[in-house]
């Protein structure tokens, strides 16, 4: 049982290290968001018309 717990702890530690590395390697400046890009609505909906 001790080997299984050590293996699980090792996986958790490596996931934490990967998460920290992902935040540290994020490019500096304004963070990009999914909401920053325009949504590609179908033209049939007419939602890209600003006059509506």
> Which element (helix H / strand E) includes 44?
none
Q: Can you give the pTM of this predicted structure?
A: 0.44
Per DSSP, 52 falls in state -
Q: Which residues neighbour 41 within 8 Å (Cβ) at sequence distance 6 or greater?
A: 47, 48
Please give the Cα distance from 47 to 43 (Å, whole number).
7
How do residues 8-48 score in pLDDT, each as one tens digit?
A: 999 999 999 998 888 877 655 666 666 667 777 777 777 66
pLDDT for residue 35: 66
Cα(29)–Cα(36) distance, rounded to whole angstroms?
A: 14
- Domain boundary assignment for the chain: 2-45
């Amino acid at each position: 049982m001790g080997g299984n717990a050590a293996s699980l702890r090792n996986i958790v530690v490596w996931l934490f290290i990967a998460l920290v590395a992902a935040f540290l390697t994020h490019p500096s400046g304004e963070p990009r968001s999914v909401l920053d890009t325009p949504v590609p609505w179908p033209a049939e909906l007419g939602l890209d018309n600003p006059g509506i």
